[in-house]
Structure formats: C-alpha cells, structure tokens
C-alpha cells in the first residue's frame, strides 16, 4: 500500500479558545481498509478512525470486483456520500462501524465531517486456477478448450482436476509422470499409456486387484461405456481498488475547518470466483 500522503493547505477558522483545537493527524498509513454493508469503508489506528460511506451496491462484495477508471463520488456532510474523522476514548472494534445505531462505547471525543471528491480505480491484477502449477506462458492451452492452462482447472481435460493429479501428494503435479513418457499426468490424456484415454478409465475401480486404480494401471485398459462428465472450470480473478480523496475539507462541531489537497485513503483487494 502506498504510504498515506496528506498535504495540509489552509487552516481557515479558529474557535475562540486562542485558536487551540485538535487537528486530525491522519496517521493511517499502516492501517488496512475494512468494509461492511452497502457501503461503509473505514480505517482504524488506535483511537482514531476515518470512515467513508458511499451510496453504492456491494452485494457479494461486487463493488471490489467491478473495473473502475477513476470513478468520482462527490462527498458532502449531508449527502449520499460522506467522509468522517473521529477520535475515541478507547480503540473501537470493527463492529462499531457496521451497526445502524453505533454503541455508546467507546465514547467519541472529536468528530470532523468532510466534503471533497473521492476517486476510485479498480483494476484486474491477475487470474489463477490455484492448481499448484506455476504457469509462465499465459497462452499455453494444452487441451485446446476455451481456457488457457493458467485458468484451466483441468489442463488436459481428462476429467481429473490438475491439483488432484499429484500421486506423490507433495502438492506439485509437475513431478508426477505415471507412465514415464516425459509428460506429467496433469498434461497427459493417457496417464498410464495403456491406449485408453484417462477420461474413459475409472478413478476408483481396480480390475486386477493390484492396489492401483485403473486410470493409473497399464495392465488394465477396460474402458468405461461413456467418458466421465466434464468438470466445471473454476478459477479466481484478483482485483485491486484504490481510493483517493481530493480537496478534502473537514469541519468540526465548533465550525473549525481544515483543508487537505490530497488524501490517499488506501487500497483494498477483491476476489471473484468464476465457474464455467
């Protein structure tokens, strides 16, 4: 996460107590963004918090998996989109910001309401089928289906998930080659080289009762009457959403105001599971 950068521009109005009041520190560089509901985002650092409320749908975390290019939201004290800075007498929990009626404890010591412009950008960072195989060539498509290997959960289309073609159980399918033909099982449509495609061999039966299931035993080649049903392809998309507040103006209950040129609220990851 980028280091939080805040530029104090103008201190506009002072109260009558010789101009002394608590100025927000905005020390949130090491605090992560949390969220709840539709849509509350907040950062907590000890007894201080910074909260954004955006009038956007976030059903199933959809807000964080939709591509956005510097989408803007107008922030105001009484509008649909708001920003609030608070300090408390004790550190608040995440649940504090996720209730319609905030609890009476911890006690709010100072509150500043803000206005400004929020800019949100969401980009797709990566896609991965999490099959324990590191794919370096994103164009490789072993089984010539609709999905290149890096997002194909069954790379050779033999009816066995790539992550499960790991006979030695070391969580690395690349070093399992049952028939020794130089092609690892997860890329080999005939794992035991018995002339019958793996998708036509049972994963559980052992015709010659030698302790080796038929699909890995080259002494058995009795095919199934029908190939096993094709598997659903499942992979994950990883997104990154960043939030920047421009021209932030904060006002406390005494009418004191502070203006900031730019506040990097931070960034948050989002994931989306795709099933085909």
Per-residue pLDDT tens over the stretch 32-64: 999 998 899 999 999 999 999 999 999 999 999
Confidence band for 8, pLDDT divided at 50, 70 and 90: very low
Examine the pLDDT at 15 and tell me if it is beyond 60.
no
Confidence band for 16, pLDDT divided at 50, 70 and 90: very low
Determine the pLDDT at residue 230: 84
Examine the pLDDT at 18 and tell me if it is beyond 70.
no
Interval 90-110: pLDDT, tens: 999 999 998 888 788 999 999
Phi, psi of 182 (to 5 degrees): 90, -5
β-pairing verdict for 68-75 and 108-128: antiparallel
């Amino acid at each position: 996460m980028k280091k939080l950068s805040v530029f104090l521009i103008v201190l506009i109005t002072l109260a009558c107590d010789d101009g002394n009041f608590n100025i927000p520190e905005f020390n949130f560089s090491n605090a992560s963004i949390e969220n709840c509901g539709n849509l509350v985002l907040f950062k907590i650092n000890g007894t201080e918090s910074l909260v954004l409320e955006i009038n956007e749908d976030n059903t199933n975390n959809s807000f964080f998996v939709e591509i956005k290019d510097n989408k803007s939201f107008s922030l105001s004290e009484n509008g649909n989109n708001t920003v609030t800075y608070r300090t408390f007498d004790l550190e608040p929990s995440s649940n504090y910001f996720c209730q319609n009626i905030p609890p009476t404890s911890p006690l709010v010591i100072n509150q500043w309401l803000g206005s400004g412009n929020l800019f949100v950008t969401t980009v797709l960072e990566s896609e991965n089928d999490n099959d324990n195989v590191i794919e370096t060539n994103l164009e490789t498509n072993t089984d010539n289906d609709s999905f290149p290997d890096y997002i194909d959960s069954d790379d050779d289309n033999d009816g066995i998930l790539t992550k499960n073609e790991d006979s030695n159980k070391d969580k690395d399918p690349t070093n399992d080659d049952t028939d020794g033909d130089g092609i690892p099982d997860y890329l080999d449509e005939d794992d035991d080289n018995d002339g019958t495609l793996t998708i036509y061999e049972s994963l559980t039966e052992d015709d010659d009762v030698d302790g080796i299931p038929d699909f890995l035993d080259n002494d058995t080649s009795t095919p199934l009457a029908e190939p096993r049903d094709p598997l659903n392809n499942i992979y994950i998309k990883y997104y990154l959403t960043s939030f920047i507040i421009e021209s932030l103006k904060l006002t406390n209950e005494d009418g004191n105001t502070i203006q900031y040129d730019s506040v990097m609220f931070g960034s948050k990851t989002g994931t989306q599971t795709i099933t085909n």
